[in-house]
Structure 1
Amino acid sequence: MTILRRGAVTLAFLAAMVGTAIGVGAVGGDPIAEAAGGLLAADSTHLAPASSAFSIWSLIYLGLGAYTLWQWWDPRDERLIAAPAIASLLLNAAWILVIQAGWVWVSVPVIAVLLGVLALLFHRITVHPARSLLERVVVDGTFGLYLGWVSVATCANIAAALKGAGFLGFGVPEVLAVVVLAVVAALGIALTVAGRRPIAAPAAMVWGLAWIAVGRAADAPHSPVVAIAAVTAALVITIAAVTGWLRGRRAPDGAVR
C-alpha cells in the first residue's frame, strides 16, 4: 500500500502541474484571467485580488512538489494526509479545466469541495503534530498556505460566478463585499485558534486580502471602502496570528505551524 500511496500522490501532483500549464496558457489554454469571459480577471469584481496576488501559486506549487518528494521518505503516513492531499491536487486541476470550459458556476462547488478537503487536511496536521522541522515546513507550511489562499480565492470565485449570473449585490455590492471580508477575518481568527497558532494559513490569507485592497485602490472597480475593509481584515488576522504565536512560544506545549 505504501508504494501505491506514493505513486498516487506523485501522479496527482503531475496532473495538477498539467492543469496549471493549461491554466497559464502554456499548452493551449487561456490564462485564467482571460478564460470564462474574464470573470476571474483582477478588475472583474470587488473581491478580485490584483494580478500580482497569484504569484503565491509559485510558492504553493514548490511546496506541493517538495511534499511529493518528501512523502517518498515517509514510511507510514501516520498523519493520514495522503488521501486529502491527492484529492486537493486533483480538485485543483479540475477547477482549472472547468474554468477553461467557461463553466464558472460549476467551479464554485469544485473550489468549495477543495476548501473542505484542505480544511480536513489542516485538521489532521493539527491533531497530529509534525515530527520534525522539515515536516513542519514541507507539510504544515505548504498545506497551510494552500488553505489560506483558497479561503480567500473561494470568495473571489463566488463573486465572479454571481456577476456572471447578473447578480448586482442588491444594488450595494460594496456593502456585500465588506460583509464577506468580515467573514474572512473571522475565519482567519478561527484558523489561528483551531490550528494551534499556525503561521502559513493566516499569512496566505493576509496576502490575498492585501492584494484585494491594492486592486480596489488602484484598479476597477475602484472602491476605497472595500480597500479599507480588506486592509482591516488583514490586520485583524495578522494580530491574531502574531498574538497566538507569541503565546505559543511561552506555552510548554506550543507548536508553531
Structure 2
Amino acid sequence: MTTVEKTSKPSRAVVTWRWITLLLAVSQLAAPAVTSAIAGDFLASGATNEALITPAGYAFGLWGVITVLSAITALAIVRYGFGAWWELGVLIDLCIVFTGFSVWLVIAAQDWLWTSVVVFLVMAGALVHVMRKLVRHPDQVTCPSWVRTLATVTFGLYLGWSSIAIFANVAAALIQGGWSSADVAWQFVVLALAAVSAVVTTVMLRGTIGYVVGALWALVAIAIGAAERGSSTLASTAAFGAVAVVLVAVLRWQRARGGATNGPITA
C-alpha cells in the first residue's frame, strides 16, 4: 500500500455511512425497550420457547453486550474508519445488520417466525461478509490495530450468536406450523445442522475469537436448555457441537502459530 493511499482522506460517501452506522448502532440500544413497551414481553411465551433446543433464558442477555459493543465499535469507526478500499461495502453491511436487529424485534412481536428466520439469514450473510474482510485482509486496513481487533471481536460475537439463532428460529417456526415440540428426532437434525454450520464458519474465519465465543455461548446455552427440558440426547448433541468448535479453533490457532503468529486470532 502506498503512502498516498495511507494518508488519503475518506470520501464523503464513506464519512456519511460511518455516521449512519453509528446512528443505527445506537438505535439498537433503544429498540428492545421501545418494542417491549408496545408489545410487552412477547419473547416469554409461544413457539419461541417451546422447542427443546431453545437456549437457556440467561443466554439472551448477550444481546445487551452485543448492542453496547456495537455502539462502541461504531463510534471508533466514525473516529478512525478502516481505511480499506472495501470500507464502504462493510459499512453498508453493518447498517443492514443493525437495522435487521430492530426489524427482527418488531417481527418477533407479531409472531412471524419464518420472517424472523429470513431476517436472521440476511443479518448473518452481511456479518459473514464483514468478518471475511476483517479476518482475511488485515493488511488492507490503516486504522489502529485495536480498532480492527475491537471490530473483529464485536462482529464475530454478533455473528456467532445470530447464526445459531437462525436454527432456533427455524425450530420455533416448525413448531408454530404444527411440528411436535417434544419430538427429539427432527430437533436433532436442526441442532446438528447448527453445529456443522458453526464448525464450518469457524474454519472459514480462521478461529477468530469473537465468533468462537459467540457460537460457544449459543451452543452451551442450548445444551443447558435441552437438559432443563429433559432431553439428554439434544443436550449432548449441543455439547458435542461446542467441543467440536473449540477443537477446530485450537487447530486453527496452532496452524497460525506455526505460521509465525502469536496465538489465537483476534483480528
With structure 1 as the length reference, what TM-score do the two structures score?
A: 0.87
Moved more, 189-198 or 90-99: 189-198
**Pair 1:245 & 2:258 matched:** no
Write the deviation string for residues 29-73 of structure 1: whole angstroms up to 9, x where unpaired.
Answer: 323423xx52222xx102210101112112211210111110112
Q: What is the root-mean-square deviation in Å for CA atoms of aligned residues?
A: 2.1
Per-residue deviation at 1:20?
2.1
**Pair 1:73 & 2:72 matched:** no
**Is residue 210–residue 234 contact of structure 1 (8 Å, CA) maintained in 2?**
yes
**How far, CA to CA, are the matches of 2:224 and 2:42 in structure 1?**
19
Per-residue deviation at 1:77?
4.5
Write the deviation string for residues 111-160 of structure 1: whole angstroms up to 9, x where unpaired.
Answer: 11111111121222123216544123320000000000011111111111
**Pair 1:164 & 2:201 matched:** no
Calculate percent identity across the aligned residue pairs.
26
- Tell me the residue number matched to 2:18: 6
C-alpha change, 1:92 and 1:5, in structure 2 (3 Å) is same
**Is residue 43–residue 109 contact of structure 2 (8 Å, CA) maintained in 1?**
no
> Residues 27-66 of structure 1 correspond to what in structure 2 (within 5 A)?
27-34=37-44, 38-41=46-49, 44-66=50-72
**Is residue 141–residue 200 contact of structure 1 (8 Å, CA) maintained in 2?**
yes
**How far, CA to CA, are the matches of 1:38 and 1:181 in structure 2?**
20
Per-residue deviation at 1:96?
0.4
- Tell me the residue number matched to 2:233: 225
C-alpha change, 1:77 and 1:90, in structure 2 (3 Å) is farther
**How far, CA to CA, are the matches of 1:19 and 1:71 in structure 2?**
22
**How far, CA to CA, are the matches of 1:158 and 1:50 in structure 2?**
17
Per-residue deviation at 1:253?
5.7
**How far, CA to CA, are the matches of 1:184 and 1:45 in structure 2?**
14
**Is residue 203–residue 238 contact of structure 1 (8 Å, CA) maintained in 2?**
no
**How far, CA to CA, are the matches of 1:14 and 1:55 in structure 2?**
17
1:90 paired residue among 80, 96, 99:
99
- Tell me the residue number matched to 2:199: 189
**Is residue 185–residue 234 contact of structure 1 (8 Å, CA) maintained in 2?**
yes
**Pair 1:16 & 2:25 matched:** no
C-alpha change, 1:75 and 1:13, in structure 2 (3 Å) is closer
- Tell me the residue number matched to 2:153: 141
Per-residue deviation at 1:106?
1.8
**How far, CA to CA, are the matches of 1:162 and 1:147 in structure 2?**
23
**How far, CA to CA, are the matches of 1:30 and 1:117 in structure 2?**
29
1:211 paired residue among 218, 221, 232:
221
Letter in 1 for 2:150: V
Per-residue deviation at 1:246?
2.5
- Tell me the residue number matched to 2:9: none
1:46 alignment partner, SS class:
coil
Which sections of structure 1, spanning at least 5 residues, go unmatched? none
Per-residue deviation at 1:8?
0.8
Letter in 1 for 2:107: V
- Tell me the residue number matched to 2:8: none
C-alpha change, 1:144 and 1:32, in structure 2 (3 Å) is farther
With structure 2 as the length reference, what TM-score do the two structures score?
A: 0.84
Per-residue deviation at 1:75?
4.3
1:28 alignment partner, SS class:
helix
Q: How many residues align?
A: 247
- Tell me the residue number matched to 1:178: 188
- Segments ≥4 residues shifted beyond 6 Å: none
Which sections of structure 2, spanning at least 5 residues, go unmatched? 1-11
**How far, CA to CA, are the matches of 1:89 and 1:241 in structure 2?**
27
